[in-house]
Structure 1
Amino acid sequence: MCSVFDVGNHADLERFLDSYGIRGAKHLIYGRRRRPTQQVSIVTARKGSPEIESAIWHLYLDRHGDTWRPHKKYWSINSNWKKLDSRPEYRKSRCLIPATAWVESQGGKNPVEFSYGVPFFFCGLYKTWGNLLSCSIITLDSHPATKCYHEKSLPMIAPAKDEFIKAWLNGGDKTADFTPYLNPMIEYSGKTLSVRPLAKATSTEYIGKVISMIEY
């Protein structure tokens, strides 16, 4: 379950977004250790072309007077891949979430930071609540090489392919086209996932060396 992620490397991220023709990079919300229920940046094409928008990182909200807040009964920062077919958002409101790293832990212990050394997109879902947007990150099964760090899941990373990015953002019911991507992978754009131990999940204090995952 991805519950903390980074949005760093300003210049690299701007170039990354520009390479896919995504507008609004100046509105990108940067920061390390982004946490659930905070405002984060997502990419949608709901207005016709891909652009950066802001969303609450918690898919289901609840009305409180004139405002919307994260729903207390439905913890929804992640959306499990096994339930995607039952979610209308999977067919109609898919998004991408720019990031540079994320943090996982095993039962809240031994946190580590995962990264590829370059920007990437989490695959996600979004919902609209009046003038607000909310989002979740799609999680897949864990990969054999990462189970010792988090035994249950690995976030879905969008492949670095123009055709995938366009198809994902365009919406539509042809979700079967994404089935091959619902398998956990630890390689992205020719780079292998790396992991580094942390003092705490929300800290930036490292306590060990970088370990490179090897595909097998």
Structure 2
Amino acid sequence: MCGRLNVIDDPAVRELCEALGIKLYPQDPSSDIQQEMLFNRFTRVANQVSIIREVSGQRRLDKAIWWLLLEPTETSFKASKWTSFNTRYDKLNVPGSAGYKAFRQSRCIIPVKGFGETQGKGAQARYTDFSAEFGAIALGGLCREWRHKDTGESALSCSIITLAPHAKLRDYHQKSSPLMLRQDDDTMDMWLDSTLSDVTVFNDLMTPQLPHNLIAQQIDKPASFQAIGAKETLFADEHLA
């Protein structure tokens, strides 16, 4: 997956958050969780993104740096030199890897309308944006908390789990595909359950899956996202539809 997210202020994104127990603004006086979401049509790696996680049994919306490994500056934190905005599925069960502990203790969901992929490099690069045809996308991710030893400042970071390339996405990106969680069963609840440490229950999720229809649109470049040609519909896997 190539480092850009579409998190527009869309009713479907709001509905996904609310389905997970997060009330967005305008604030609901009856809710204990009242937070704003970071909306951005073009979120780059190492930018902040909104994540949903569970802390002490409570769902919450937090801002996290989209780069799992951080390193301290004199007063704060910055993205590490080690690329970590994505975490490969085949590293999740490798002790000592960046995502090993987080996979067992601090999973999160990144709610988005879509994401972008790049095929090729330089002048040959082809950029494609994907968005959910209906609803929003719940990307499965990991998060980590950091505290500066000198200043005591805290930081939160996150990554998106990437799988082997899905057959329907291979023409757009040959290396990987993001983990998109199902929304019509208990998958998201299990993913956010901070007491669930037996990660073998997620084995089936580590196979590339397309749980809902995606609209694929080639664009000129990520910063301007001007459409090129016609949209294509990539249909959900039949066994998941």
Q: TM-score, normalised by structure 2?
A: 0.83
The whole-number CA distance in structure 1 between the counterparts of 2:43 and 2:20 is: 23
How many Å apart are 1:120 and its aligned residue?
1.7
The whole-number CA distance in structure 2 between the counterparts of 1:132 and 1:205 is: 35
- The residue type equivalent to 2:223 in the other structure is T
Report matched runs for 1:53-64 at 5 Å: 53-64=62-73
The gaps in structure 2 that reach 5 residues or longer are 24-32, 95-99, 148-153
Partner of 2:28: none
Aligned residue among 163, 166, 173 for 1:143: 166
- The residue type equivalent to 1:179 in the other structure is N
How many Å apart are 1:22 and its aligned residue?
2.4
Contact kept in structure 1, 2:2 and 2:118, CA below 8 Å: no
- The residue type equivalent to 2:228 in the other structure is I
Q: State the percentage of identical aligned residues.
A: 28
Which contiguous aligned blocks of 4+ residues in structure 1 show a shift greater than 6 angstroms? Answer: none
Aligned residue among 132, 135, 147 for 1:116: 132
How many Å apart are 1:144 and its aligned residue?
1.2
Secondary structure class of the residue paired with 2:93: helix
Secondary structure class of the residue paired with 1:205: coil
Partner of 1:13: 13
Secondary structure class of the residue paired with 1:145: coil
Contact kept in structure 2, 1:100 and 1:119, CA below 8 Å: yes
Residue 133 (structure 2) pairs with residue 125 (structure 1): no
Please say which of residues 22-31 and 123-132 is displaced more in the overlay: 22-31
- The residue type equivalent to 2:137 in the other structure is F
How many Å apart are 1:170 and its aligned residue?
1.4
Residue 74 (structure 2) pairs with residue 65 (structure 1): yes
Aligned residue among 177, 184, 202 for 2:201: 177
The whole-number CA distance in structure 2 between the counterparts of 1:209 and 1:79 is: 32
Aligned residue among 148, 151, 154 for 2:177: 154
How many Å apart are 1:162 and its aligned residue?
5.1
Residue 103 (structure 2) pairs with residue 84 (structure 1): no
Residue 59 (structure 2) pairs with residue 43 (structure 1): no
Secondary structure class of the residue paired with 2:192: helix
Contact kept in structure 2, 1:125 and 1:137, CA below 8 Å: yes
Aligned residues: 212
Bigger CA radius of gyration: 2
Partner of 1:32: 41
The gaps in structure 1 that reach 5 residues or longer are none
How many Å apart are 1:181 and its aligned residue?
1.2
How many Å apart are 1:133 and its aligned residue?
0.4
The whole-number CA distance in structure 2 between the counterparts of 1:161 and 1:91 is: 23
The whole-number CA distance in structure 1 between the counterparts of 2:228 and 2:199 is: 41
How many Å apart are 1:25 and its aligned residue?
6.1
Residue 107 (structure 2) pairs with residue 94 (structure 1): yes
Residue 182 (structure 2) pairs with residue 166 (structure 1): no
The whole-number CA distance in structure 1 between the counterparts of 2:132 and 2:63 is: 24
Partner of 2:222: 201
The whole-number CA distance in structure 1 between the counterparts of 2:66 and 2:136 is: 19
- The residue type equivalent to 1:207 in the other structure is I
